[in-house]
A = this chain, B = another copy of it.
Amino acid sequence: MSEPIEIQITEFKRACREVGLRLTHQRLAIYREVALATDHPTAEALYQRLHDTFPMMSLDTIYRTLATFVHHGFIKKVDTIESLARFEVTHKQHHHLICSRCQEIMDFQWTTIDDAPLPIETASWGRIDNKNVVVYGVCKKCLS
């Protein structure tokens, strides 16, 4: 799916230096956790996971760090109808399957759409940056 974690971490460190962000243990740990996660975790979920190896890390730091990462484009917030914010590392173009029942989110590729031009009417709206497909349904686990 994506690059090995070590390479991502190295790239992350470089990016931090580039934009002048201090490389703290917390930031490294949080980035690593988001990069390893495949489930688009919430701030709270990350807090719980990090608490084992990092008992002193506070929830505020997670929120602040996630906001910083989003601001610099290292990670992205995920589009959902939930009020809970979910995050993922910024990697290659992909789309989301969301289960209406358990809210689980899965990534999938759809290059047909990535390459398809938007309808011409959208051109007059402004500048287009990116497009993502959100698919709703019910996952196999919830169906059975």
Q: Which residues of A come within 8 Å of B, CB atoms?
A: 76-81, 83, 85, 97, 99-100, 106, 108-110, 112-113, 116, 118-119, 121-122, 124-143
Contacts and interface: CB of A to CB of B under 8 A. Distances in A.
16 contacts: A77-B81, A79-B79, A79-B81, A81-B85, A83-B85, A97-B126, A100-B129, A109-B121, A110-B118, A113-B116, A125-B139, A126-B141, A126-B142, A129-B136, A129-B138, A130-B135
A118 B140 contact: no
A127 B109 contact: no
Nearest to A117: B112
A127 B141 CA distance: 11
Given A112-B119, A127-B143, 18 more contacts: A78-B81, A97-B122, A97-B126, A97-B128, A106-B125, A108-B119, A108-B125, A109-B119, A109-B121, A113-B113, A122-B135, A126-B137, A130-B135, A130-B137, A131-B134, A132-B135, A132-B136, A133-B134
Nearest to A139: B126
A133 to B, nearest CB: 5
Nearest to A113: B113
Contacts of A110: 118-119
